[in-house]
Amino acid sequence: MKIFKTLLICLVLASCNAPSAVYDYDRKVNFSQYSTYSLFPDFRSGLSQLDEGRLIESLDSALKSKGFSRGDDAGIYVNVYSEEFIQNSGNRVGVGIGGSGRNVGVGVSGGFPLGGPDTYLRLTFDFIDVEDDSLIWQAVVESRFDKNASPEERSAVFDKIVKKALEGYPPKK
């Protein structure tokens, strides 16, 4: 029974760190026509220079594994922009006092937050048709982000975010 409880707790904690994604796309576009990409000419993700480099490295690797090549004669531009936000921890400990007598109940309770607020990163991935200059596909990914993480841990976070974003490309109609 203890093993089951331990596995359940580990599963819950692991699922809390997984990035979540939302996808949108133009239904009229034939996505099989695209095989080359380039970064948007005015690419500014809003991340630090080092984190932006890690993001681009993750993006290049993931797009290459999907059969894309990066070049000047690109079919699509890839643009990514970020937004950082802080969310209060949802973990709380409750304390309660209660009593009853003669069919009358009284209760008082309160919750104390565990840990501090969590920092999250929201990355929006835009795929833009170069010829038409129109947005054809978009993914928005949110993930917990530790500002004090090592460079290797940050690279791993960007790998997970990009992988989650590209799970929805090409869209399944």
Residue 55 lies in a domain: yes
Residue 45 lies in a domain: yes
pLDDT in tens, 48-66: 999 999 999 999 999 999 9
Mean pLDDT for the chain overall: 84
How many structural domains compose the chain?
Answer: 1
Q: Does the pTM of the predicted model rise above 0.85?
A: no
Residue 73 lies in a domain: yes
Higher pLDDT, 40 or 13: 40
Residue 77 lies in a domain: yes
Residue 74 lies in a domain: yes
CATH number at residue 168: 3.30.160.670
Buried b (16+ CB within 10 A) or exposed e, 9-44: eeeeeeeeeebebebebeeebeeeebeebbbbeeee
Residue 107 lies in a domain: no
Q: Supply the range of the domain harboring residue 58.
A: 20-87+117-173
| For range 88-109, the mean pLDDT | 60
d(CA 99, CA 103): 10
